[in-house]
Amino acid sequence: MGSGWFAMGAVTAGLAVALGAFGAHGLRPRISPEHMEIFETGVRYHMYHALALLSVGWGAMRWPGNWVQVAGWAFTFGIMVFSGSLYLLAMTGLGWLGAITPVGGVAFLVGWAALAIAALRGVRTFV
pLDDT digits (tens, 9 = 90+) for 38-47: 999 999 999 9
pLDDT at 2: 78
pLDDT greater than 50 at residue 126: no
pLDDT at 79: 98
- Domain total of the chain: 1
Exposure of 81 in the CB half-sphere (CA atoms within 13 A)? 16
Whether 126 is in a domain gets the answer no
Cβ atoms of 3 and 57 within 8 Å: the answer is: yes
Whether 127 is in a domain gets the answer no
Cβ atoms of 116 and 65 within 8 Å: the answer is: no
Cβ atoms of 54 and 13 within 8 Å: the answer is: yes
CA 19 to chain centre: 13
d(CA 72, CA 52): 8
Q: How confident is the model at residue 35 (pLDDT cuts 50, 70, 90)?
A: very high
